[in-house]
Amino acid sequence: MTTRTARLSITAGDINGFIGLVVDNLSVLAFLAGALIGIFHFPPDVIFGKMFPGTAFGALVGNLVYTRMALRSGRADACAMPLGIDAPTTIGLALLVLGPAFVTFKQQGMDEAAAANATWQLGMAAMVVMGVLKTILSFFGNAVLRHVPRAGLLGSIAGIALVLMGFFPLVDILRVPIVGLACFGIVLYALVAHARLPFGMPGVLFSILVGVALYYLLGPLDLLGPGFQAPGAPQWRFNLPWPNLGFVDGMKYTLPYLALILPFGLLMVVGGINVTESARAAGDDYNVRDILLTEALATLIAGVCGGVAQTTPYIGQPAYRAMGGRTGYTFLTGVFLGLGGVFGYLSNLVELIPLAVLAPILIFIAIHITMQAFEATPQKYFAAVVMAFFPAVARMLAIKLGDPAIVPPANFAQAYANADHGLPELAVIVILGNGFIITSMVWASFVAALIDHRPRRAMMIVVLGGVLTLFGIIHSVDPNGSIYLPWTLDAAARSLVWQFTAAYMVLAATLGLLSLQSTRRTNL
C-alpha cells in the first residue's frame, strides 16, 4: 500500500504560524548576538558572517524535512512539526561556552581575530559532537527515558530556562524599562492570560510592533536615557554556508566544555520525544526516530557549515495546529531563515530590533518550560524538580560575578588553605556551578529515588555523582570548569577534589546503612 503525498499549500493559519515561528527563532539569534557582543565584546562580523549563515541553514534543512513528513502523511489537515533554533541551549552555549572561551583564548595570548575564529571553530565542533550524540541516542531515546527520571530531565532544563533563559533577558528588559516592560506586559496579556488583541493580531507580532514604535519614537527624544542606540545603515552581507573543516580544528577546544555540550544534546533528544508525544495527542502521529534523526541531521549540517546553535522540534506543535498551521508555515520559515542567513537580512533584523523588545519572548518561553517541568511531573516529585534548580543558580551567580575572576585559578589553593570555617563561599559557588546540568540531573534523580523509597538506588546515583566529581565532570575545581585526571593535579587541587568526592561517598554509605534498617522492601 502506497502513501499518498499531499500537495503543499499555504493558508492564513500558515501565515500566523510562520510569523510566530520566525519571531521565536529571531529572538534566540538576537540573544546569541547580544550576549556575545554586549557581554564578551565578540566581533559582530564573525557572528553575522560566519555563525548565522550555518545556523540558519540547519534550520532550513530541518524545516524542509519536517514539511515533507507532513506532506507524506497524505492528510490535508496535517500540521508539520515546527523546528527551530533551540533557546535554552543556545543561550547556555553563548553564556557558558562561546563567550568564556573567547575570553580565555585572548588571555592565552591570541589576538581578537584569532580568538574569535577559534571560538567559532569550537562552536562548530560542539554542534558536530551534539549532532553525533543525538544521532546515536535517537535509536535509544526510550531507554534514556527509562533510566533518567522525568524530574531530573525536565528539572535540569527548567533550571536553565529559569535562571539563564529567564533572568538574563529580564535584565535586558529593565535596561530599557519603558520599552521592555510594555512589551513584556503585552506578551503576558496575550500568551499567558490568552486575551484577545486588536484585530486578532498574534501576541508576539503585536508586542514587537509596539516595542519598535516606542523605541524609535521615544529614543530620539532622549526619553529612554542611555538605553537608546540609533540604528546604523543596513549592511549587505552575502555569505554562503559552505561546508568546511573548521569543526575538526575546533575539536581540540571542546574537552573542557564536554560536561556542558553533551547534556545539551541529551536534553534535545528527550525534548524531541516529549514533543512528538505532544503532537500525537493533538492528532499528528510522527515516528519518534524520524523526528529525532532529522533534528540530529540538521544540527550536524549546521555545525559542518559554520553554525553554532543546535536545532530542535519546538514544544508548541499543538498550538500551531490550533492557529491553523498546516505544512506551509514550516516551509516558509525554513526558506526565510535559510535565505536570511545567506543574504544577511537576519542580522539586519537583529540589529534593528532592540533586545529589550525580543527579550520578553524568551522570558515567556522560560516560564512555559518551567511550568512544563511541574505539569509533566507527578506532584510527589516536585521537590526533586526544585532540587535541580540550585546548581543552575550557582552557575548564574558565577557568570554575573565574573566567573574565574571571582577566585582566580592561582588563588584557588591559597583561598582553600586560608579558609577558617570550610571552603571559601565564592569558590563553592563556582565549583557548584561547574557542570551544573549533570549535577542537576544527579541531584534530582537522587531525590526522586528517595521519594520512591528506594535508598539503594539513591545510593547508586550518589556514587555515580562521586565518580563524576572525581574527574571534574561535575564540581570541577578548575574555575574554568575543565575536566581532568585527578592524579595530574597539584596537591591543593587534589585536596579539593577529595573533599567533594568523599562527600558523595559518605552520603552513599549513609544511604546504604539506612537501607538496611528499612522496614519496607526496596528495589534497585
Q: Quick one: pLDDT band at residue 115, thresholds 50, 70, 90? A: very high
| pLDDT computed for residue 232 by the predictor | 67
| Cell output for 278 | 505532544
| Cell output for 135 | 544521532
* Largest separation between any pair of C-alpha atoms in the chain: 76
Q: DSSP letters of 396-444?
A: HHHHHHTGGGTS-HHHHHHHHHT-SSSS-HHHHHHHHHTTHHHHHHHHH
194: left (phi over 0), alpha (psi -120 to 50) or beta: left
pLDDT higher than 60, residue 408: no
Strand partners, 313: 83
Q: How many CB atoms lie within 10 A of CB 319?
A: 17
> Three-state SS for 473?
coil
- Block residue for cell numbers 582553600: 416
Name the range with the highest mean pLDDT among 127-136, 367-376, 396-405, 435-444: 127-136
> Three-state SS for 313?
strand
**What b/e sequence results for 99-130 when a residue is b if at least 16 CB atoms lie within 10 Å of its CB, and e otherwise?**
bbbbbbbbeeebeeeebbbbbbbbbbbbbbbb
pLDDT higher than 60, residue 412: no
Q: Report pLDDT digits (tens) over 35-90.
A: 899 889 999 999 999 999 999 999 999 999 999 999 988 788 889 999 999 887 89
- Cβ burial, residue 25 (10 Å; 0-12/13-18/19+): buried
| pLDDT computed for residue 406 by the predictor | 45
Question: For 2-9, what is the mean pLDDT?
Answer: 70
| pLDDT computed for residue 416 by the predictor | 53
Separation of alpha carbons 120 and 338, rounded Å = 19
Q: Quick one: pLDDT band at residue 5, thresholds 50, 70, 90? A: confident
pLDDT higher than 90, residue 114: yes
Nearest Cα neighbor of 457 from 377, 504, 515 is 515
Nearest Cα neighbor of 74 from 327, 331, 333, 329 is 327
Separation of alpha carbons 109 and 255, rounded Å = 20
pLDDT higher than 50, residue 405: no
CA angle, residues 301, 305, 309, in degrees to nearest 5: 70
Distance between start and end Cα atoms, the chain: 46
